[in-house]
Chains A and B, each alone.
Chain A
Amino acid sequence: MLATAVCITAGSSCKRSFLDVPPQGQLTEEQALIDPGAAEKLVGGVYNTLYFGSFGNNTVGFLWVIMNDVASDDADKGSFPADFGPAAEIDNFTFNANNFIFNNVWLGHYEAIVRANKAIDVLNRSTFDETTRKRLLGEVRFLRGFYYFNLVRAFGGVPKIISIIPPSEANSDAVNTRATRDEIYAVIIEDLQYGVDNLPAKGEAGAVVGRITKGAAQGMLAKVYLYRQDWQKAFDLSKAVIESGKYSLGDYTTMFREVGANNSESIFEVQTGPHRGIDNCDAVSPLFSNGQGPRSKGAWRNNVDGKPYDGDLGFGLNSPSADLANAYEPGDIRRGATIIFINPTVGGGPNPGTVLWDGFRIPTQDSVENPRYSYKAYHSPFKETPSCNGYLDKDFKPKNIRILRYAEVLLIYAEAAARLNNTGEATAKLNLVRARANLGPTTGTLANIWKERRVELAMEQDRFFDLVRTGQAATVLAGKGFQTGKHEVFPIPQAQRDLSAGRLTQNPGY
């Protein structure tokens, strides 16, 4: 008996098997990468980073929305005054480096970039056929370039991480120091250009709805060149998208609803759906829709098609500003498609409230916190795909996020043309966008194009960066507390500066 016991200890073969216990029900990296489809699945994992949202690490989710739209003149913080202080700080430019929104946007983007780096590393080593490998690399590098584009616009120069960093190097100077803005733009341009060179165009072999296409890379790179003031390249790239003939302007009034998902105008759009993960619906950007939904004051309930719906439709944050509402020309169909207007309360008689496109009635002003809400973020609980938790769940609505539309490419083209003194082309493309909005023609001046960008792209997380890019921020945002020389970029998150032992330098003024 003792001998048997000793065997467990001393017999080398039985010792080895006894103490070798692989993880139960989990896949190790070594096992996972044996799968021939591993590289492709890793790419799927990089797309998944587009869902980072809620109050946690964010890419293009809820906090990114707050950071951009609320900082701009398009939106006020919304909700009731005392709610969500960090967003209020952004609204009135009183934030500092400790505001958690910046930290979580930073974390979300780097988490996504590191996933992309991992996929790129595996793809570079994989034995896929060359076309597939390059296409997958093009998709991942597009996403990485896009994320760096967000970071550089938000924070200026940031650490340049384009390979796998082992934890042992976490403390090294190299990764804890900010690269310059130019160095980051070089990464962005190289990544996006790789996409331009290697991705299939929409409709070609390998291009699947939801995957990054050549057009997306061209359009995004064109936008990057606007920021670099390289008008010729912006012009050429946007021209290529236009001349590809793959895209056309759609119906603005339905474009942001589920029926408008991936319409003829869509170039880059975050795809969502009611997939259920282990803990929750995990194929959505959480709170993206609910965070911006109409917020009740007091109690009300309503129903559509006999489905009762109690309380409100969301947090009421990111409320479109009066200034935005007034920015539209008379007859612009985009005003009503962008903003949910809450009707004032009238004395006596039945109050009409606001009836949304799906038939849901929001009461009048005395029952609702804010006068305006984003229609572009609205996702109907009744007429569109419900959350995987059921239609009453508000946090996990599968709402696609529109990131790049053909209309913007037209406006990029117009702006580049105007800069290159090609007023004819600028006017032509500008008026295409205006005509779709039911507006008459105008001249393609820079001022007109910028004005058009605002109303066309309102509440789509572009306005703040656009104001900074075009030099309008100082005047337009002065009333909100914007300080020139400081607020063109947000502060480097203090938590990250602490972790770098001060090696991450702070932006001026913070």
Chain B
Amino acid sequence: MKLTFAFLFLCYMHVSAEGVSQTRITLKLDKVDLKQALAAIEQKSSYRFLYNEALVRTEEGISLNAYNEEVISVLDKILNGRPITYQVLDNYLVVLKNAATADIQNPDITITGRVTGPNGEPMPNVSVTLRGTTIGTTTNAQGNFSITVPDENAVLVFSYVGYTPQEIPVRGRTAIEVSLVAADRSLDQVVVVGYGTARRRDLTGSVATVSGAEIAKQPVLTPTQAIQGRVAGVQIITSGAPNALPTVRIRGIGTTLGGQDPLYVVDGVITEDIRNINNADITSMEILKDASATAIYGMRAANGVLIITTKKGRPGKMVVNYDAFVGIREATNLVDMAGPNQYAGYLNEASVYYGTGDSLVPASRLTGTHTDWFDAILRRGFLQNHNVSMSGGSERINYFLSAGYTSEEGILITNKFNRFTVRSNNEYRLTNKLKLSSLVSFSRFDLRDVDYGAFNNAYRAAPYVPDKINGKYGNTSAAGNVGNPVLSLEKVFNNGIGNRLQGTFGLEFKPISWITFRSSLGIDLDFFKKVEYLYKFLSDTQTFIEAGGNQQRGNSRLNITDNTANKWVWDNTVQLAKSFGEHSFNLLAGVTAEQYKFNSITGGRFDVPENRDQWYLNAGSLGGAVSNETGDKWTRNSVLGRLNYNYAGRYLLTATMRADGTSRFSEDNRWGYFPSIGAGWLISDESFMDGQQIFDALKLRGSWGRVGNDKIPTSLYYTLARLNVPYYFNGQEYLGISFPDVTDKNVQWEVTEEIDLGLEFTVLNNRLSGELDWYKKETTDALVYVTIPGILGDPDSRFITNAATFENKGFEVTLNWRDNINKDLDYRIGGNVGFNKNKITGLNGGQALFAGNVGGQGFVTLSDNNQPIGSFYLLEVEGILQTEAEVAASGQSGAKVGDLNYRDVSGPAGKPDGVIDSYDRTFQGSYQPKVTFGVNGGLNYKSFDFSFAGYGTAGGKIYNGKRAIRGADARDNIEAEIAKERWTPNNPNTSHPRATLNQMAASTYFLEKGNFFRLNNLTLGYTLSERLLSRVRINSVRVYFTAQNLFTITPYSGFTPELQTDQILEAGIESNSYPSTRTFAFGLNIGF
């Protein structure tokens, strides 16, 4: 591969060397017409000709021999004796004119004008170019421009991101006023698709776009968090934890193993982690939902594709922007825990009255201390974000340079995060045929990480033990309880630093107008180093208020992790775009190769001194030293093709095909083929629609395709040896080997077949637009961990194989309304809703998969045929046993009055048998929502802007694992609500059973509705008047206030209904989750 790289770079250099100014040519013409002669010159030089077709229509042939001659002199020879004159402009552009009509004296026309927005406001930085050339300028702050064109037939193109480009013929005018219309939702919007761009009108697939402006508006770190609720059918599960990557689920779950995440493509680089991307650098994000759109990514597209495009400069004067916000973040929706007396009351009732008779919490321990452990470990975190960017360009070079800094304190004490990003996106037009682009970003983060187990310990810790007094910690473990979470957090320093360099270097060669060759090399270098220092402390009075218990660390320890990942992807494509009359074709073909390498070195030593300057492995003792190195490597190689055909601009056809080869599967199963086909009909462009007034646009589309998913660990198909398996013979260690894991040598990718039908429309004078989609996805050969009987000897009793079939069916509706009431007031409101039905349709010959082990309750989910993946499988609670007679009739051995009454559903004979056991468990739904929805809207009134965005889900269930696991340790604290509402003979009408120290059975008592609606974002902004600013040479200033997650409405009693997990078979069990957070921020945007 090294050789090919070298070759590639040589290519760059070679081309750039000769491409700068090719003005002398060698040319041999033999009886060609004038048009061919000019084309020949174009081919051999940097010169381009601009002319009217009628002008060059000649019958006689031209013959010529030129050797290393100036182009101009060659041209003179060719035109000699013809009624044609010419003028050479900048950029080797030559304009040919009829000698009879040309005004030789005054050939150039200077046009001035003004560009305004939909509300008449001046639009700065609008690009104004001469069609078919690179001549151009941009508008100034007042929206004014001035451009010189060769003749009165020139056509000017006005374009601005997010607005419909307009083409205005000059027709002899010298002053032109243009009003641009926002392109949002319009069919002419240009969207980014795999390996290229397309106009929305030409798409046959389901593609959603969110603009960078929408993303940058929210005080969140990752762009996916900002699009929560924006796109129908896309579920985004977020966590308030600093540096957390939100979970994205597009159109349900079609896989159960680690690979449910969509494919992320950042400027052509395929990645799995987008936390290095600064939101402020994003131009747009495209969400590819159906196979017509995604199949070009083949084996990795089954979960949908998210394409992120970063900003580029535009020709014109330099634009400088500074954006910043500062704010606070805090935990919300906390669960109230019992206070000391309530705690002691509950435990002692359970122990004295129902248990052994021992008082678990003696009255002497209740000395008035009341610790709210969540108060002790949580705080209000400060956050800030600063971005500065410069962009601009000339005809040759466009540049965009930005730097961003963000820092936030986690809501958990000691948790802290900051990130610095810098990006440089440049495009160089070497010649008119050759373009070089280099998009490079560097990001560095610094995270003081914490053990989120603190949340669980705060939930469990006894409230009568103080958290910390005068630097000494309350001793919870001496009280027979969990460790003190404040101490756990403070006695660890865990700092990770990540450096990531990501870039795309592209070379585009356009030998003739309809052919484009493109070669691009994407690189992604990721370096991560973690230093974890565990302080030494003993359970003595030096650390604790009172000595004892088992929370101690006898030796300090230093653990170092050093990870390096590097990846390259090399795409080579050719695109042919040509029209023949009413037929227009766009053909893309390409090959890509990709390689990933990962290396991780970890080391640890005991007894490293506390002094930070000594935090090196060599400063520690050799006893208990560890050093490990592991690696990973995979390669992929693919061939891809796409044909877009449209007839008369109304009938559309897209066919794609990708052949993917991967090193992840055995040689026999290595190559997969992923086709798709889509068709579209632009009904509104039909002549029979001419008269109607209802539809501004109407489009019907449908697609079918097959995509894959290969996201499983590398080398899974190998049976790997476990080395250095020790035993002792003769007092000496002997290192053996074993092959403990059961593996499937024929493991291969999953295949998802998708059908999509969509309707897009715009009505009521472009005020209402909408999109309806119906889809069905069927995943076959889905990889699942099949739990296998213990007799096979696998250590965790499971192996991965292609054994399941899943189905997702759904319907999506998106509606957006926008209108201008008057010059001062416009508003928009939109909503989307997605319904999805997930079902397992075939499962390894009917063997159901248990998962979700909750302590002594065992597995609480069962994935079985005709049920959603990860369905809860529980005993059903029918109230509380109120009398001894009910206890006797309940079939529950050992039950007492006040216990839950479970429904007797079935038995070994298939009918109720008077015994409550595993036969009485039934399916109770899953965490997967049946409905996801979002609403968003905004209003601009004079200088004020206001916007909001909300998100919610319905139909999902949550298993309250924190409650369910209680009883595994008798001295755990209890939720205040349960302690208060628990069943007692005096409080029989309640849903909470009697006080108990034991763990209860897995039942619907712990299952709650996971529905929620959250006001994700609320922003109020004010833009300062231009008049005020022009004096200080500032273009624009906007100040705003924004709130993230102002409120969440949910019936769920736990910390958050948003539960992130990769283990989809056991999703929705809340055991140790990061609470919901709320952010308030004040921000500023300044443009220079």
Task: Spell out A's residues near B (CB within 8 Å).
Answer: 1-2, 4-9, 15, 18-29, 31-32, 38, 41-48, 50, 57, 80-83, 85-86, 94, 98, 100, 103, 106-107, 110-115, 117-118, 159, 161, 165, 167, 170-171, 175-176, 208-211, 271-273, 275-278, 282-283, 296, 298-301, 308, 310-312, 388-393, 493-496, 498-501
- Cβ A296 vs Cβ B548 within 8 A: yes
- Cβ A211 vs Cβ B729 within 8 A: yes
Q: Shortest distance in angstroms between A34's beta carbon and chain B's nearest beta carbon? A: 11
Known contacts: A114-B793, A310-B552. The answer to whether A23 contacts B737 by CB under 8 A is no
> Could you say which residues of chain B place their CB within 8 Å of the CB of A21?
633-635, 663, 714
- Cβ A311 vs Cβ B550 within 8 A: yes
Q: Does B970 contact A (CB under 8 A)?
A: yes
> Could you say which residues of chain B place their CB within 8 Å of the CB of A112?
793
Q: Shortest distance in angstroms between B892's beta carbon and chain A's nearest beta carbon? A: 12
- Cβ A57 vs Cβ B591 within 8 A: no
- Cβ A159 vs Cβ B791 within 8 A: yes
Please report which residues of chain B, range 389-430, place their CB below 8 angstroms from some CB of chain A when the two chains form the complex. none
- Cβ B593 vs Cβ A41 within 8 A: no
Please measure, in the bound complex, the distance between the C-alpha atom of A283 and the C-alpha atom of B731, giving whole angstroms. Answer: 12
- Cβ A28 vs Cβ B720 within 8 A: yes
> Could you say which residues of chain A place their CB within 8 Å of the CB of B351?
82
Q: Shortest distance in angstroms between B433's beta carbon and chain A's nearest beta carbon? A: 15
Known contacts: A80-B480, A278-B628. The answer to whether A2 contacts B574 by CB under 8 A is yes
Q: Shortest distance in angstroms between A61's beta carbon and chain B's nearest beta carbon? A: 14
Partner of A26, one of B475, B549, B720: B720
Best-buried of A57, A107, A493 by chain B (most CB within 10 Å):
A107
Q: Shortest distance in angstroms between B987's beta carbon and chain A's nearest beta carbon? A: 24
Please measure, in the bound complex, the distance between the C-alpha atom of A312 and the C-alpha atom of B633, giving whole angstroms. Answer: 47
> Could you say which residues of chain B place their CB within 8 Å of the CB of A42?
736-738
Please report which residues of chain B, range 699-748, place their CB below 8 angstroms from some CB of chain A when the two chains form the complex. 714-715, 718-731, 733-740, 742-744
A15 closest partner in B (C-beta) = B637
Known contacts: A44-B734, A392-B555. The answer to whether A15 contacts B661 by CB under 8 A is yes
> Could you say which residues of chain B place their CB within 8 Å of the CB of A114?
791-794
Known contacts: A9-B591, A392-B554. The answer to whether A57 contacts B728 by CB under 8 A is no
Q: Does B946 contact A (CB under 8 A)?
A: no
Please measure, in the bound complex, the distance between the C-alpha atom of A208 and the C-alpha atom of B635, giving whole angstroms. Answer: 48
- Cβ A1 vs Cβ B538 within 8 A: no
Partner of B719, one of A7, A28, A98, A210: A28
Partner of B728, one of A22, A117, A118, A273: A273
Known contacts: A48-B736, A299-B539. The answer to whether A4 contacts B637 by CB under 8 A is no
Q: Shortest distance in angstroms between A213's beta carbon and chain B's nearest beta carbon? A: 12
Q: Shortest distance in angstroms between B484's beta carbon and chain A's nearest beta carbon? A: 14
Please measure, in the bound complex, the distance between the C-alpha atom of A110 and the C-alpha atom of B733, giving whole angstroms. Answer: 25
B661 closest partner in A (C-beta) = A19
- Cβ B728 vs Cβ A29 within 8 A: no
Known contacts: A23-B715, A211-B729. The answer to whether A5 contacts B538 by CB under 8 A is no
A57 closest partner in B (C-beta) = B795
A309 closest partner in B (C-beta) = B554
Q: Which of B209-217, B284-292, B782-790, B951-959 contacts its partner?
A: B782-790
Please measure, in the bound complex, the distance between the C-alpha atom of A43 and the C-alpha atom of B722, giving whole angstroms. Answer: 13
- Cβ A310 vs Cβ B538 within 8 A: yes
A86 closest partner in B (C-beta) = B856
Selected A-B contacts with CB under 8 Å, 8 pairs: A15-B637, A29-B719, A82-B351, A94-B894, A170-B789, A275-B733, A310-B539, A499-B790
Partner of B630, one of A25, A80, A111: A25
Q: Shortest distance in angstroms between B569's beta carbon and chain A's nearest beta carbon? A: 12
Q: Shortest distance in angstroms between A28's beta carbon and chain B's nearest beta carbon? A: 5
> Could you say which residues of chain A place their CB within 8 Å of the CB of B631?
24-25
- Cβ A47 vs Cβ B727 within 8 A: yes
Q: Which of B3-11, B41-49, B1010-1018 contacts its partner?
A: B3-11
Give 1 or 0 for each of B570-584: 1 = CB within 8 Å of chain A CB. 101010000000000
> Could you say which residues of chain B place their CB within 8 Å of the CB of A389?
606, 624
- Cβ B723 vs Cβ A27 within 8 A: yes
Please measure, in the bound complex, the distance between the C-alpha atom of A495 and the C-alpha atom of B848, giving whole angstroms. Answer: 12
- Cβ A44 vs Cβ B548 within 8 A: no
> Could you say which residues of chain A place their CB within 8 Å of the CB of B624?
276, 388-390
> Could you say which residues of chain A place their CB within 8 Å of the CB of B733?
273, 275, 283
- Cβ B555 vs Cβ A48 within 8 A: no
Give 1 or 0 for each of B62-95: 1 = CB within 8 Å of chain A CB. 0000000000000000000000000000000000
Give 1 or 0 for each of B616-641: 1 = CB within 8 Å of chain A CB. 00000001101011111111111100
Task: Spell out B's residues near A (CB within 8 Å).
Answer: 1, 4, 7-8, 11, 351, 355-356, 358, 360, 475, 478, 480, 517, 519, 538-540, 546-550, 552, 554-555, 570, 572, 574, 591, 593, 606, 623-624, 626, 628-639, 661-663, 667, 670, 714-715, 718-731, 733-740, 742-744, 786-795, 797, 799, 801, 845, 847, 850, 856, 858, 894, 918, 970, 997-999
Please measure, in the bound complex, the distance between the C-alpha atom of A494 and the C-alpha atom of B908, giving whole angstroms. Answer: 13
A56 closest partner in B (C-beta) = B795
Please measure, in the bound complex, the distance between the C-alpha atom of A8 and the C-alpha atom of B740, giving whole angstroms. Answer: 37
Please measure, in the bound complex, the distance between the C-alpha atom of A254 and the C-alpha atom of B1082, giving whole angstroms. Answer: 74
- Cβ B637 vs Cβ A18 within 8 A: yes
A494 closest partner in B (C-beta) = B918
> Could you say which residues of chain A place their CB within 8 Å of the CB of B548?
296, 298-301, 310-311
Q: Shortest distance in angstroms between B733's beta carbon and chain A's nearest beta carbon? A: 5
Partner of B517, one of A2, A19, A273: A2
B541 closest partner in A (C-beta) = A299
Q: Shortest distance in angstroms between A113's beta carbon and chain B's nearest beta carbon? A: 7
Please measure, in the bound complex, the distance between the C-alpha atom of A210 and the C-alpha atom of B787, giving whole angstroms. Answer: 35
B507 closest partner in A (C-beta) = A1
> Could you say which residues of chain B place their CB within 8 Å of the CB of A57?
795
- Cβ A111 vs Cβ B793 within 8 A: yes
> Could you say which residues of chain B place their CB within 8 Å of the CB of A161?
791, 793
Partner of A301, one of B547, B606, B794: B547
Known contacts: A23-B720, A86-B856. The answer to whether A118 contacts B546 by CB under 8 A is no
> Could you say which residues of chain A place their CB within 8 Å of the CB of B787?
499
- Cβ A167 vs Cβ B547 within 8 A: no
Q: Shortest distance in angstroms between A385's beta carbon and chain B's nearest beta carbon? A: 10
> Could you say which residues of chain B place their CB within 8 Å of the CB of A498?
850, 918
- Cβ B539 vs Cβ A48 within 8 A: no
Partner of B858, one of A19, A98, A113: A98
A83 closest partner in B (C-beta) = B970
Since A4-B8, A83-B970, A298-B548 are in contact, a sample of 16 more A-B pairs with Cβ atoms closer than 8 Å, ordered by chain A residue number, is A1-B572, A5-B519, A23-B720, A24-B633, A25-B631, A80-B970, A81-B356, A85-B856, A100-B858, A111-B793, A277-B726, A282-B726, A283-B728, A392-B555, A499-B788, A499-B797
- Cβ B792 vs Cβ A26 within 8 A: no
Q: Shortest distance in angstroms between A158's beta carbon and chain B's nearest beta carbon? A: 8
Please measure, in the bound complex, the distance between the C-alpha atom of A459 and the C-alpha atom of B541, giving whole angstroms. Answer: 37
Please measure, in the bound complex, the distance between the C-alpha atom of A114 and the C-alpha atom of B727, giving whole angstroms. Answer: 18
> Could you say which residues of chain A place their CB within 8 Å of the CB of B574?
2
Please measure, in the bound complex, the distance between the C-alpha atom of A27 and the C-alpha atom of B355, giving whole angstroms. Answer: 54
- Cβ A19 vs Cβ B630 within 8 A: no
Partner of A278, one of B356, B626, B720, B738: B626
A29 closest partner in B (C-beta) = B719
Best-buried of A18, A46, A94, A103 by chain B (most CB within 10 Å):
A18
Please measure, in the bound complex, the distance between the C-alpha atom of A86 and the C-alpha atom of B946, giving whole angstroms. Answer: 59
- Cβ B721 vs Cβ A113 within 8 A: no
A2 closest partner in B (C-beta) = B572
Please measure, in the bound complex, the distance between the C-alpha atom of A6 and the C-alpha atom of B519, giving whole angstroms. Answer: 12
Known contacts: A282-B726, A499-B788. The answer to whether A27 contacts B720 by CB under 8 A is yes
> Could you say which residues of chain B place their CB within 8 Å of the CB of A24?
630-633, 714-715
- Cβ B737 vs Cβ A32 within 8 A: yes
- Cβ B727 vs Cβ A48 within 8 A: yes
- Cβ B663 vs Cβ A208 within 8 A: no
Q: Shortest distance in angstroms between B462's beta carbon and chain A's nearest beta carbon? A: 14
Please measure, in the bound complex, the distance between the C-alpha atom of A367 and the C-alpha atom of B794, giving whole angstroms. Answer: 43
Known contacts: A208-B730, A275-B733. The answer to whether A298 contacts B572 by CB under 8 A is no
Partner of A167, one of B570, B725, B795, B799: B799
Known contacts: A19-B662, A98-B918, A310-B540. The answer to whether A28 contacts B790 by CB under 8 A is no
